[in-house]
Amino acid sequence: METFKSTVMSGGYMITCILTILSFVYCLMLYPKLIQFFKNKNLLEIPDERKLHKQPTPSSGGLLFTIPCLLVLPFLVLDVAMMITIFMGMGLIVLGYVDDRKDLSPKIKFSGQFLVAILAVQILGPLKIIPELLTVDVFWINYLITVLLIVGFTNAFNLLDGSDGLSGSYALVMLIGIAILAIMQNNIILFLMTMTMAGAIAAFLIFNFNPAQIFMGDSGSLFLGYILSISLIYHVNYIEEMGVALSDGLLILAGMMLAVLDTLRVMFSRIARKRSPFSADRTHLHHLLQKLGLKPKSIVYCVIAFLFVIIAYAFVMIKLVQMNPVQTLFGMASFGMLLMWGVFLLRVRLLRVKLNKHKQHIQKIEKQNYLLSK
């Protein structure tokens, strides 16, 4: 085992490169077959008033995200905790697939997510968000916060999956970013896992960009949200120096922030309208951008640009201004909300312009009719 471990550590870059290429090639070869299989079985997602696609399209493309997990399996024996955690996440692929087919209730989906999240935190350990105090045992508080972080982001990422290429592009950027942070801290296992997963996502995007031939479905979005969440936990807990851990953790959180803030904004707006926070509507960020007239590809570019801006803002606050974690989190949240509020105000402004033009057009017609009646 020690010889195998030293070989993996010394050849980490080469092994990762090979696994990433294999993951990409396997998925590239298998997606056309999966698409045809779903079409033959009529396992299609039908368009409705809430969805942006126009044609019945195969879903559950996330089933092939199991391929990178199987490819890294021989190397995960070096870290049994991470291996068990990832394979528990594959249960979310099954849960998501059933939801794609049967449309499960929120209660069932949340129960499955909380079960997996609790087990993951039990194995990996909670994030040390609140420092140890002499008079208070904060372990269970940190445990609860970490579980809520996993479930919260998993669902936020799931709700992001509403426009061709959006969730896949978001996940690809996040996975590559986490991989860079991992290799900088010599976290070879996380580097292997994230890059191999990135290979599969890159292949998926070829078939998911507008016009999409297949959607990842809940089977993919729930799993990817979970993988990104546990990557944060694993990486922060891996690093011994808390200064570096906090710095890396906040940068990953910055990337997660956009999806989380959008979900919170939508849920609070639903509550304000006396609706269930889990009810479906067309008020997410990608819906607002679509209402502004952006095409699916432009929506992806815009959201990814927002993502990079928030990460860049966090980097400046952490590395250059050297704000403390609380100030940085508050700053990221405020900055992210300002971005989305700006999109909303732009939408309102354009609606007013459109309404004024419509009124002017009506007035012009009425004036013409009046002159003709004379």
Q: Are 303 and 289 in contact (CB under 8 A)?
A: yes
Whole-number pLDDT of residue 132? 67
Could you say which DSSP state residue 318 is in? I
- pLDDT surpasses 50 at 246: yes
Whole-number pLDDT of residue 373? 65
181 vs 54, which has greater pLDDT?
181
Whole-number pLDDT of residue 179? 92
CA nearest to 35, candidates 21, 20, 55, 50: 55
Question: For residue range 72-84, what is the model confidence (pLDDT) as tens digits?
Answer: 877 776 788 888 8
Question: For residue range 148-198, what is the model confidence (pLDDT) as tens digits?
Answer: 999 999 999 988 887 888 999 999 999 999 999 888 888 888 898 999 999
Question: For residue range 66-119, what is the model confidence (pLDDT) as tens digits?
Answer: 888 888 877 776 788 888 898 888 889 989 999 888 888 888 889 999 999 999
User: For the chain, how far is it from start to end, CA to CA, in angstroms?
Assistant: 97
What's the sign of the alpha-carbon dihedral 134, 136, 137, 143? negative
Cβ contacts of residue 323 below 8 Å, gap of 6+? Answer: 317, 331
Question: For residue range 321-367, what is the model confidence (pLDDT) as tens digits?
Answer: 666 666 666 666 676 666 666 666 666 666 676 677 767 767 777 66
User: What is the rounded distance in angstroms from the CA atom of residue 340 to the CA atom of residue 13?
Assistant: 38
Percentage of the chain with pLDDT > 90?
Answer: 25
- CB atoms under 10 Å from CB of 175, counted, come to 25
Residue 330 main-chain phi, psi, to 5 deg: -65, -40
Vertex 321, ends 315 and 327: CA angle to 5°? 80
Whole-number pLDDT of residue 4? 46
Whole-number pLDDT of residue 135? 60
The runs of H, that is alpha helices, within 209-321 are: 217-238, 242-272, 285-291, 296-315
- pLDDT surpasses 80 at 11: no
Rounded mean pLDDT, 199-214: 91
Cβ contacts of residue 177 below 8 Å, gap of 6+? Answer: 251, 252, 255, 311
Name the token pair of 144: 């609860």
pLDDT tier at 52, thresholds 50, 70, 90? low
CA nearest to 332, candidates 349, 350, 309, 351: 309
Rounded mean pLDDT, 296-314: 87
Vertex 318, ends 312 and 319: CA angle to 5°? 85
Where do the structural domains in the chain lie, given as residue ranges? 18-351
Q: Are 183 and 242 in contact (CB under 8 A)?
A: no
User: What is the rounded distance in angstroms from the CA atom of residue 360 to the CA atom of residue 31?
Assistant: 51
Name the token pair of 355: 């309404």
Residue 320 main-chain phi, psi, to 5 deg: -100, -55
To the nearest whole number, what is the mean pLDDT of the chain? 81
DSSP helix/strand/coil, 44: strand
The 10 Å CB-count burial string (b at 16+, else e) for 266-295 is: bbeebeeeeeeeeeeeebbbbbbbbebebe
Percentage of the chain with pLDDT > 70?
Answer: 77
Whole-number pLDDT of residue 249? 80
If you count them, how many residues does the chain have? 374
Whole-number pLDDT of residue 175? 95
DSSP helix/strand/coil, 58: strand
pLDDT tier at 3, thresholds 50, 70, 90? low
Q: What is the number of helices (H) and of strands (E) in the chain?
A: 13, 2
User: In the chain, what is the greatest distance between 2 CA atoms, to the nearest angstrom?
Assistant: 98
